[in-house]
């Protein structure tokens, strides 16, 4: 009996070894994505929703002390969000179930700061229920953002809070069906009692996987996918899906933003990049930004610098105060979809022929590793070479000279990320020579190159790979010029002030700086900015424009004063904060509690975003 079993096992082993040899399958290289990570990467483009008390208060970070009654949308319509996402060509929606203010968009058992305490639907509403149902109805995947930083919870900053947060997570992840992505914000500030929390990430991760084994966990360092280092939508041109994670963690323990932007070649874990960026200047809705929705050109740019650079795109579209996606945003999303469709409508590669410098031999009667596999629409068919071919090339013949300006490449990532660099050349029929068109580095799941239109019949792509390349797709396009449909409307409420003078610092000339074509003031931190508007003006909000570069010496904490005579000052904001300015240095709008009248403005910096002793000002404006 025993011998029989051994014999059967041996036979099985021989047969399977034989079939591996016959198949001549590609050996995977380096760390690999899980099946769930491959499925996630194929989702490419999905919606972020920031919604909560901040929607109503014009701030980016609430402080947890807001009255839950401020959350009072008149017409929440999650089906409209889902219909918009679907029509925009998106594959899912991730919602801020709980942001840093601690407010829960569902009636959580573990908090007293939730929709239940708000007037919305007489406290009987549940945004997560409505949205998860709507996602199912529209065939979208559903994901949640939960901030461990909680400025409302009385236990934040104590050892018991970690378990409370795990319970909160458990509640969400067991109540609303399948969750494709769990978004963990690394922000870790002070809570109620002025204390910070040491997060128990192991406990949080275990809670996610127990409920949702397939969920992709986002954080600065994964494990499912990673932040790509900025909120501008620009992933690294070189972008490895692999990252060294030992010794690093989310938030302050994260690797430098530069590393998150490019990943690590040969990194120890598969942690692909996700690009999160907002369609408006801020993450939350504000009426001030209705005319600042990103243009189609900007969104197309972001498409190329995210999805076109081996990253998924999580585009934030914040619902307005009624609880619906504003027409300005949904119109733009549809224009963006049209622009993508027009760009990629006609893949000239489909009608082309291709030959490779080397092709791996398969066992099948048709060779499943042939180069023509790169020309079809099927991601799961690919061209590959013999194991020792690290510098092979393919030549594509378009059959006649064609005008082209885009090239799309995809590696078959279940076999790992293998291409280190590649060169694209085109055949110049007059010169009778191959001319260099582009020299680039990584490909990964998807890489799209833009270049000025050329006329070419033949293209050659030369690869330099760490292991024989496995190329799933080559697409060649002639993208039409973008027709810009939007008009840039000036902010109607902005007060135009012509005859202003600078009182402090004393000289404008000594403070002004020009870097990369942008003018801004560079001032010592203990010198306040004082402006004489020349006349008295009535206004009810102001804005500070920082230098638009992450982690700069922009103002983080400040006092703001007004005066009619330049001597007696009224302090309107004390120890206030331009939240999230380090990662997202966009114009900061500040509403005042009532309309005021003043001739002089004083902005007194208390702390800068990088802790430095100077601060930058690119603009200070007032609004009706």
Residues that bind ligand FUL (CB under 6 A): 60-61, 185, 187, 276, 283, 580
Question: CB-hemisphere CA count at 13 Å for 320?
Answer: 15
φ/ψ (deg, to 5) at 607: -150, 140
- The number of beta carbons lying within 10 Å of the beta carbon of residue 124 is 9
Q: Which is nearer to ligand FUL, 60 or 389 (CB)?
A: 60
We find the least distance from the C-beta atom of residue 240 to ligand FUL, in angstroms, to be 23
Place of tokens 């660099």: 421
492 class by beta-carbon count within 10 Å (0-12 exposed, 13-18 middle, 19+ buried): exposed
Please tell me whether residue 19 adopts helix, strand or coil conformation: helix
- What sections of 420-542 are H helices per DSSP? 508-511
The DSSP symbol for 108 reads -
Kindly provide the b/e burial profile for residues 340-358, where b requires at least 16 CB atoms within 10 angstroms of the residue's own CB.
beebeeebbbeebebebeb
Q: Which is nearer to ligand FUL, 254 or 467 (CB)?
A: 254
- Decide if 284 contacts 580 (C-beta within 8 A): no
What is the gyration radius of the CA atoms in the chain, in angstroms? 27
We find the least distance from the C-beta atom of residue 333 to ligand FUL, in angstroms, to be 18
The DSSP symbol for 309 reads B
We find the least distance from the C-beta atom of residue 197 to ligand FUL, in angstroms, to be 15
We find the least distance from the C-beta atom of residue 283 to ligand FUL, in angstroms, to be 4
Contacting residues for 96 by C-beta, under 8 A, at least 6 apart: 49, 50, 51, 52, 105, 145, 147
CA nearest to 463, candidates 474, 454, 452: 474
We find the least distance from the C-beta atom of residue 260 to ligand FUL, in angstroms, to be 13
Q: Which is nearer to ligand FUL, 251 or 266 (CB)?
A: 251
Q: Which is nearer to ligand FUL, 41 or 580 (CB)?
A: 580
We find the least distance from the C-beta atom of residue 343 to ligand FUL, in angstroms, to be 27
We find the least distance from the C-beta atom of residue 58 to ligand FUL, in angstroms, to be 14
- The number of beta carbons lying within 10 Å of the beta carbon of residue 538 is 11
∠ CA 213-216-222 to the nearest 5 degrees? 120
φ/ψ (deg, to 5) at 597: -125, 135
We find the least distance from the C-beta atom of residue 191 to ligand FUL, in angstroms, to be 15
Q: How far apart are CA 67 and CA 75, in angstroms?
A: 20
- Decide if 244 contacts 250 (C-beta within 8 A): no
We find the least distance from the C-beta atom of residue 149 to ligand FUL, in angstroms, to be 8
We find the least distance from the C-beta atom of residue 187 to ligand FUL, in angstroms, to be 5
Please tell me whether residue 4 adopts helix, strand or coil conformation: helix
We find the least distance from the C-beta atom of residue 580 to ligand FUL, in angstroms, to be 5
- Decide if 546 contacts 615 (C-beta within 8 A): no
Q: Which is nearer to ligand FUL, 187 or 596 (CB)?
A: 187
Q: Find the length of the chain.
A: 624
∠ CA 453-235-332 to the nearest 5 degrees? 70
């Amino acid at each position: 009996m025993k011998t029989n079993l051994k014999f059967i096992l041996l036979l099985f082993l021989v047969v399977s070894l034989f079939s591996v040899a016959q198949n001549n399958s590609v050996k995977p290289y380096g760390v690999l994505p899980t099946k769930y990570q491959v499925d996630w990467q194929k989702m490419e483009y999905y919606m972020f929703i920031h919604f909560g008390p901040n929607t109503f208060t014009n701030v980016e970070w609430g402080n947890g002390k807001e009255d839950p009654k401020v959350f009072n949308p008149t017409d929440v319509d999650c089906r409209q969000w889902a219909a918009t996402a679907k029509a925009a060509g998106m594959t899912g929606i991730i919602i801020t179930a709980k942001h840093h203010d601690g407010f829960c968009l569902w009636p959580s058992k573990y908090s007293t700061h939730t929709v239940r305490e708000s007037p919305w639907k007489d406290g009987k509403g549940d945004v997560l229920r409505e949205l998860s149902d709507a996602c199912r109805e529209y065939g979208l995947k559903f994901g949640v953002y939960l901030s461990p930083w909680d400025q409302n919870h009385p236990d934040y900053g104590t050892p018991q809070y970690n378990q409370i947060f795990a319970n909160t997570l458990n509640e969400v992840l067991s109540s609303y069906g399948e969750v494709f992505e769990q978004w963990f914000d690394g922000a870790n500030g002070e809570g109620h009692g002025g204390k910070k929390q040491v997060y128990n990430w192991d406990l949080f991760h275990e809670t996610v996987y127990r409920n949702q084994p397939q969920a992709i966990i986002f954080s600065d360092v994964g494990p499912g996918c990673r932040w790509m280092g900025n909120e501008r939508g620009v992933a690294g041109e070189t972008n490895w899906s692999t990252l060294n994670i030992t010794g690093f963690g989310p938030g302050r323990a994260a690797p430098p933003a530069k590393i998150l932007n490019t990943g690590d070649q040969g990194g120890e874990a598969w942690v692909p990049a996700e690009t999160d960026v907002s369609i408006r200047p801020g993450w939350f809705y504000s009426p001030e930004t209705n005319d600042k929705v990103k243009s189609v050109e900007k969104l197309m740019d972001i498409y190329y610098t995210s999805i076109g650079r081996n990253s998924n795109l999580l585009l934030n579209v914040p619902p307005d105060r009624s609880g619906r996606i504003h027409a300005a945003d949904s119109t733009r999303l549809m224009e963006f979809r049209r622009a993508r469709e027009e760009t990629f409508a006609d893949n000239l590669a489909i009608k082309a022929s291709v030959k490779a410098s080397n092709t791996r031999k398969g066992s099948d009667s048709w060779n499943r590793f042939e180069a023509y596999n790169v020309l079809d629409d099927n991601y799961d068919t690919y061209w590959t070479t013999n194991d020792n071919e690290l510098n092979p090339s393919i030549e594509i013949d378009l059959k006649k000279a064609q005008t082209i300006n885009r090239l799309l490449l995809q590696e078959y990532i279940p076999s790992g990320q293998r291409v280190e660099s590649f060169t694209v050349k085109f055949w110049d029929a007059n010169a009778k020579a191959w001319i260099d068109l582009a020299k680039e580095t990584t490909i990964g799941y998807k890489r799209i190159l833009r270049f000025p239109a050329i006329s070419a019949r033949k293209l050659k792509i030369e690869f330099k790979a760490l292991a024989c390349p496995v190329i799933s797709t080559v697409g060649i396009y002639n993208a039409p010029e973008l027709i810009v449909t939007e008009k840039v409307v000036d902010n109607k409420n902005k007060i135009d002030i012509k005859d202003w003078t600078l009182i402090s610092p004393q000289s404008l000339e000594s403070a002004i700086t020009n870097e990369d074509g942008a003018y801004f003031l560079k001032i010592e931190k203990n010198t306040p900015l004082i402006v004489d508007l020349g006349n008295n003006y009535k206004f009810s909000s102001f804005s500070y424009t920082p230098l638009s570069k992450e982690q700069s010496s922009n103002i983080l904490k400040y006092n703001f004063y007004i005066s009619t005579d330049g001597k007696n000052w009224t302090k309107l904001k004390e120890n206030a904060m331009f939240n999230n300015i380090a990662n997202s240095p966009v114009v900061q709008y500040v509403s005042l509690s009532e309309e005021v009248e003043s001739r002089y403005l004083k902005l007194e910096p208390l702390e800068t975003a990088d802790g430095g002793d100077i601060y930058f000002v690119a603009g200070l404006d007032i609004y009706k």
